[in-house]
Each structure stands twice: as structure tokens, then as C-alpha cells.
Amino acid sequence: MGILFALAKALEARDDDTASHSLNVTKYAMLLGRQLGLDEEEMRILGQGAMLHDLGKIGIPDEILKKPGILDEFEFERIKEHPRLTSEILAPLETSNYYSSIARSHHERWDGNGYPDGLNGENIPLLARIVAVADAWDAMTTNRVYRPGMSNKMALAVLEKEKNWGQWDPNLIEEFVKIIRKENSSSYSLFEKAS
């Protein structure tokens, strides 16, 4: 695990956006995991898997990873390789199966139209489905080189609108929306961004 986290640090040094994204995704995934009542071991695996979920981006060229505009078809296909690359990086570890499945499956879709394996519904590992929701939330609400982030209110509207359209597990979206609503009604923020 130490070597893997060293690799994650190397990726962070190469791309600041990936560093804050991994921290935010981990935080949101852990909040959702707690909401779902995961046990201590599942929470440990979820946290470490979320931290490592984009490690394969180390194999994506900078001109694609940091491109300020919209990716063309070839570039998007290269980006889509990162879950598989992460899985391959994690494969030699004896204890990597859990982390590998999170990384490999966090871009699968509930309706089966995701990648890299076209898994659907509960065939997608639960922890990967959790990371998918956390990943989407951070992607929507964080500034990217190619567009500004949405407000929490706008991103919440997207989640609620898309809940039954097939991208994410609708039950997980429902639970995540509860977390956001609770945060929005409190005087402190669970969702302070990593800097």
C-alpha cells in the first residue's frame, strides 16, 4: 500500500487537479459509506480504493489530461483507459482485488452503458458504485480546465433529474441527496473542498 500511495503522490505532483479530486472523492465516498452503514473493514477498503481510483491517469499523456478544451473522440478513448490502467497497476498486489474492482468499475453505469466492461446494476461492485457517485459529484462541483464547477444547488438538481435515467445506482443517489440536503440545512460544511 505504501508503494501505491507513493505512486498516487507522483500523480498528484504531475496534476494538481487529480490530487484534490482524489481527496474530495474519498471524503464524499466515506460520507456515503457511513450513510449506508458499511462496516469498519468496508469503510477502510472504500477509503483506500477511492484514494487510488484514478491512479491509471499516470499513463495518460499531459496534452490529454490537462487539455483546456473538449476532448476529441481519440482523446476521450484514451481517457477511458484509466480505469483499466489503474486495475493493472493494482493487480500484482495480493490484497488488491477490492481496490482493483473499485478502480476498474467506477465508470460503469447502472444501465450497462459504462466502461470498460459494460457491467450493469448490482453486477457493478457496491464500493465502485459509491465511488462513481462521489466522483460525479466532485466532477460537477469543481472547476476544471475546460469549464467552471456548478453550485451545489445545480449539481443537486442534476442528480435528482438523472436519478432514474441509468447512470448511477438510484438508491445511492437518493442517500447521497439526503447527505447534501442535510449539509445545506446546517451551519457548517461537510463539503469543504480539498485545497
Q: What is the pLDDT of residues 127-149, one digit of tens each?
A: 999 999 999 999 999 877 777 78
pLDDT above 60: residue 194: no
Does residue 16 form part of some domain? yes
Does residue 192 form part of some domain? no
- The yes-or-no answer on residue 57 being catalytic is yes
Stated pTM of the model: 0.89
Does residue 23 form part of some domain? yes
**Average pLDDT of the chain, as a whole number:** 86
In DSSP notation, 149-179 reads PPPHHHHHHHHHHHTTTTSS-HHHHHHHHHH
pLDDT above 90: residue 126: yes
pLDDT above 60: residue 38: yes
Does residue 82 form part of some domain? yes
Does residue 118 form part of some domain? yes
Does residue 50 form part of some domain? yes
pLDDT above 60: residue 49: yes
Using CB atoms within 10 A of its CB, is residue 47 exposed (0-12), middle (13-18) or buried (19+)?
Answer: middle
pLDDT above 70: residue 165: yes
Among the listed residues 27, 57, 66, 178, the single catalytic one is 57
| Bridge partner residues of 144 (DSSP) | 147
pLDDT digits 0-9 by tens, 3-26: 666 776 676 666 666 668 888 999
Q: Residue 133: name the closest of 60, 37, 27 by CA.
A: 27
CATH assignment of the domain containing 94: 1.10.3210.10
Does residue 191 form part of some domain? no
Number of domains in the chain: 1
- Calculate mean pLDDT across residues 96-118: 92
Local structure of 29: helix, strand or coil? helix
Q: What is the pLDDT of residue 195?
A: 41
Does residue 195 form part of some domain? no
For residue 159, the enclosing domain spans 2-184
